[in-house]
């Protein structure tokens, strides 16, 4: 039985929050693409798995907290906060915690996410990366 687009998008967020790459990739359509805040597009399951794995390594407590969800047809928009701690050289330091408001847009087709787009100010984590070099 097909799931609602809202449930699929929420399952995608849950897989991100649990850092479960298999579950995350299992929710991606064959033509899935990720678009970040700068408009960079990442496609193919292999590249997306590597990108998410790298991000989870860099921010091992990365979490999305969703406060509001809106659904229109096959498009789901979620508003909330992205947060985590930037880790460099395996050192988890509390002063490297960051958070930023986030808007997420998911397009759903056949119980799969075809597009995941993130709108967020990445400056907080950029500053931590620059400062730790």
- Give the residue among 112, 115, 102 at the shortest CA–CA distance from 7: 112
Q: In the chain, what are the domains?
A: 5-78+103-119 (3.10.450.50)
Distance CA(95)–CA(58), nearest Å, equals 15
More confident residue, 53 or 130: 53
pLDDT value of position 1: 65
Query: Mind listing the pLDDT tens digit for each residue in 76-98?
Result: 999 999 999 989 877 888 888 98
Q: Is the pLDDT reported for residue 15 higher than 90? A: yes
Q: Is the pLDDT reported for residue 67 higher than 90? A: yes
String of DSSP letters for 2-30 = PPPHHHHHHHHHHHHHHT-HHHHHHTEEE
Query: Mind listing the pLDDT tens digit for each residue in 45-64?
Result: 899 999 999 999 999 999 99
Question: Any alpha helices (H) in the chain, and if so which ranges?
Answer: 5-18, 21-26, 45-58, 123-131
């Amino acid at each position: 039985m097909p799931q609602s687009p809202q449930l699929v998008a929420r399952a995608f967020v849950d897989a991100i929050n649990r850092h479960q790459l298999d579950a995350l990739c299992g929710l991606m359509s064959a033509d899935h693409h990720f678009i970040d805040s700068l408009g960079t597009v990442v496609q193919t399951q292999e590249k997306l798995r590597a990108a998410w794995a790298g991000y989870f390594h860099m921010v091992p407590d990365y979490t999305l907290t969703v406060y509001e969800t809106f659904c229109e047809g096959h498009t789901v928009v979620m508003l909330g906060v992205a947060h985590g701690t930037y880790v460099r050289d395996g050192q988890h330091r509390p002063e490297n915690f960051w958070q930023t408001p986030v808007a997420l847009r998911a397009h759903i087709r056949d119980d799969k996410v075809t597009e995941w787009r993130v709108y967020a100010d990445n400056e907080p984590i950029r500053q931590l990366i620059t400062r730790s070099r």
